[in-house]
Amino acid sequence: MSQVIESDVCIIGGGISAAMVAERLAETTEASITVVEAGGRTASLEERTATRARMLAYGENPYPNDHIPGQTGTGEMYQSMVLGGAAMHWGGAVPRYSPEDFRVRSLYGVGYDWPISFDDLEPFYQEAEERMGVAGEQGPPEYDPRSQPYPMPPLPLSWNLLRMREWTDAAGIPFWTQPWARNTEPWQGRNVCQRCDTCAVCPTGAKYTPDFAFDRLLAAGRIRLNERTLIRSLGLESGSDRIASATGFHQDAPDEPVQFRARTFVLAAGHAWSSHLLLMSANSRFPNGLANRTDNVGRYMTGHWFASGFIELPMRLYPGIFPNNSLLSHRFASPGPLDRYLRHDIRLWESTVGREARLAADDGRVLWGDEVMADWRARTRSTATARIRSYYDVIPTPESRLTLHSGMRNSHGDPMPRIDYAAGQATLDLEPHTHETLLGRFDELARAAGGRMMSTRASRLFEHPGGGCRMGDDPATSVVDARGRAHDHENLFVVGAPTIVSSGCANGTLTFCALSLMAAEEIARG
C-alpha cells in the first residue's frame, strides 16, 4: 500500500451531510477526523462573481470541474462530485418534513413508519438550521411545528409575492415565506443576501454551501481533508465484522492506492454513491456487499413526484424583483383524517411564462421592433403569471433499486450505479386521484384570484432522492438503525439521504442534515 492515513473518524464524501457530521464531531469531541472527497474544489467565493456573469450570459456551468468524467450512473443522480457536493448548486430551500411523514403507516395505513418521530428529530432540525443559517417565517404552528424560532428573520416578500399572498389569503389557504439557507443577517462571517437572482451561484456568500464549513474546519486544524480521492472499497478487520479500512486513489495517481484506517467510518456519499460503495465492497463474508446481509442495500430508493402549472392572474406583477423567493403552504402535508391518501405541499413563485417578448402575434403575424415592445406591454400591463407546484410523497418499494451497472464502468473498470426507481403500488393506484385533487386545487386557487390555469404538468422525476440504506429497527427490512449505525458493522455509520424511509412532500436536504447530526451525536458517544 503506497500510503496509509490513520484517524479516529474517517468520513467518506464531502457534501452537506459530511459537513454537518464533521462540524459536530469537531466541536463535541477530540477525535481526529479525516474527510475523503472524490472530487476537488470548484469556483471559490471570489471566483463566483465571474462564473455567475458567464452563467447569465451563456448558460455555462458556474462550477467548473465539479464532476469526474466517467464516474456517473443512470437514473436520477447528481452530477456533482466536488467538495461541497450537490449543495454547491442547490437553491437552499429548507423546509422540514411534517410530523405525519414519520408515521404514515400508523396514521394512514400506507407506506412505512420511521423508527424515529418528528419530535426525536426536532432538535437536530434546529441545529442544522443554525449551522447553515436559515432565514424563515414561522407558519401556523399546526402546519409548521418548531420549538424555537428560526435563526434569522425571513427573506422579505417581494412586491409580487405580497400581491400573491393577498390572493392566497382570500382563497383561504395559509401560505408563508419559504425558509431558505440564505442570510438575512450576517451569519458566521458570511454576507446578507443581496437579491442577485442567481441562487444557483451566489456571488455574495449569503447562500450556505458546505465548502464554507470545510474551510473553517481546515483553518482551525480540526479536519484533514483528502480531496480528489475516490474510495473504491471498504475492508473488514480480520475475523470481525468491523470496518478496518477504506481504500481508494488520488485522481493524479490512479495506480497508487491510498488506505484510510479509522476506529469509525462514516459513509456520507449521498443517495447514490453510498449504496454503490457498499455493493462494491463485497467480500467472501459479505458476498452481496457490506451491510447487506439481508439484501436491503440499494433498495427502497425514493423521492417525491410533483404536479405543477402556470396560472394567469388578473394583476400586474413585475417579474424579476425577487424570483428566488416563494410562498409555501404545508396545509395539505398535515391534512387530518383522509379517505384516500394524499399529502402534498404547495409552492408559488412569480413567473415570466407567457410574459416574455416574442416575435409573432397570436395570429402568426411577424412583429418588429416597436411592435414587439407593444405586444409585450399588452401582455404584462394587467395580467401576470404565477408558477404553482406541489410535491407529493411516493410510497417506497423494495423494487426501487440501485444495482451495479453491468454495462457502464469507470476508467478503473468499476461498475457504475444503475438506479431503477419505482413507486409503490399504492402510489400508482392513487395517482388518478392525486392528479385530479391537485389540479382541482390549483384551479380553485386560480379562480379565487379571478385567474385561469394556463397549463399543467405531472412529473415522475424522483426529486430530492434518498434511500438505499434505509433506517429501521428490524435488520430484516433495513440497513442501519435509527442513528445510522449499520446493523452488520458496529463501527460503520451511513448518514443523510440514503437512510431516509420515505421522502415526504418537502425538499429533503434539511432532513438529510438533521439525520446526519443525529448520527453524529451517536458517533461522538464512541
Q: Is 39 in the site for ligand FAD (CB under 6 A)?
A: yes
The one of another protein, ligand FAD, none whose footprint includes residue 193, by CB under 5 to 8 A per kind, is another protein
Please say whether the beta carbons of 198 and 206 come within 8 A. no
- Cα–Cα distance, 41 to 14 (Å, whole number): 10
Amino acid at 130: E
Q: Is 264 in the site for another protein (CB under 8 A)?
A: no
The one of ligand FAD, another protein, none whose footprint includes residue 194, by CB under 5 to 8 A per kind, is another protein
Amino acid at 238: S
Q: Is 467 in the site for ligand FAD (CB under 6 A)?
A: no
Residue among 345, 313, 333, 277 nearest 98 (CA):
333
Q: Is 80 in the site for another protein (CB under 8 A)?
A: yes
Residues 173-212 that bind another protein (CB under 8 A): 184, 192-198, 200, 203-204
Q: Is 10 in the site for ligand FAD (CB under 6 A)?
A: no
- Cα–Cα distance, 431 to 36 (Å, whole number): 42
Q: Is 229 in the site for another protein (CB under 8 A)?
A: no
- Cα–Cα distance, 23 to 33 (Å, whole number): 10
The one of another protein, ligand FAD, none whose footprint includes residue 76, by CB under 5 to 8 A per kind, is another protein
Torsion angles phi and psi, residue 305, rounded to 5: -100, 170
Per CB under 6 A, which region of 80-88, 133-141, 257-265, 337-345 contacts ligand FAD?
Answer: 80-88
- Cα–Cα distance, 356 to 431 (Å, whole number): 33
Per CB under 6 A, which region of 146-154, 252-260, 263-271, 391-399 contacts ligand FAD?
Answer: 263-271
Q: Which of 40, 99, 123, 156 binds another protein (CB under 8 A)?
A: 156
Cell of 491: 463501527
Q: Which of 73, 111, 424, 498 binds another protein (CB under 8 A)?
A: 73
The one of ligand FAD, another protein, none whose footprint includes residue 281, by CB under 5 to 8 A per kind, is none
Comparison of 198 and 233: residue with beta carbon closer to another protein? 198
Please say whether the beta carbons of 179 and 93 come within 8 A. yes
Rg (CA), the chain: 24
Cell of 433: 386521484
**Cβ of 282: how many Cβ atoms within 10 Å?**
15
Per CB under 6 A, which region of 82-90, 119-127, 143-151, 347-355 contacts ligand FAD?
Answer: 82-90
Measured CA angle at 501 (ends 500, 503), to 5 deg: 70
Cell of 444: 380553485
Q: Which of 170, 360, 428, 476 binds another protein (CB under 8 A)?
A: 360
- The single-letter DSSP state of residue 319 is T
Torsion angles phi and psi, residue 464, rounded to 5: 45, 55
Q: Is 73 in the site for ligand FAD (CB under 6 A)?
A: no
Comparison of 62 and 111: residue with beta carbon closer to ligand FAD? 62
The one of ligand FAD, another protein, none whose footprint includes residue 507, by CB under 5 to 8 A per kind, is ligand FAD
- Cα-Cα-Cα-Cα torsion 486, 490, 496, 500, nearest 10 degrees, comes to 30
Please say whether the beta carbons of 37 and 12 come within 8 A. no
- Cα–Cα distance, 24 to 307 (Å, whole number): 37
Comparison of 57 and 219: residue with beta carbon closer to another protein? 57
Burial (Cβ within 10 Å: 0-12, 13-18, ≥19) of residue 488: buried
Q: Is 62 in the site for another protein (CB under 8 A)?
A: yes
Q: Is 497 in the site for ligand FAD (CB under 6 A)?
A: yes
Q: Is 86 in the site for ligand FAD (CB under 6 A)?
A: yes
The site for ligand FAD, by CB under 6 A, has a size of 39
Please say whether the beta carbons of 434 and 460 come within 8 A. no
Polymer length in residues for the chain: 526
Residue among 393, 392, 404 nearest 298 (CA):
404
Q: Which of 109, 314, 320, 440 binds another protein (CB under 8 A)?
A: 320
- Cα–Cα distance, 173 to 166 (Å, whole number): 11
Comparison of 194 and 240: residue with beta carbon closer to another protein? 194
Residues 221-250 that bind ligand FAD (CB under 6 A): 230-231, 248
Per CB under 8 A, which region of 60-68, 125-133, 327-335, 506-514 contacts another protein?
Answer: 60-68
- Smallest distance from another protein to CB 69, Å: 8
Residues 90-129 that bind ligand FAD (CB under 6 A): 90-94
Please say whether the beta carbons of 379 and 315 come within 8 A. no
Write out the residues near ligand FAD by the rule CB under 6 A. Answer: 12-18, 36-39, 78, 81-82, 85-87, 89-94, 200, 230-231, 248, 268-270, 273, 277, 464, 496-497, 507-509, 512
Write out the residues near another protein by the rule CB under 8 A. Answer: 50-51, 53-62, 64, 67, 69, 72-80, 89, 155-159, 162, 184, 192-198, 200, 203-204, 318-323, 325, 356-360, 366, 368-370, 372-373, 376-377, 380, 461-463, 465
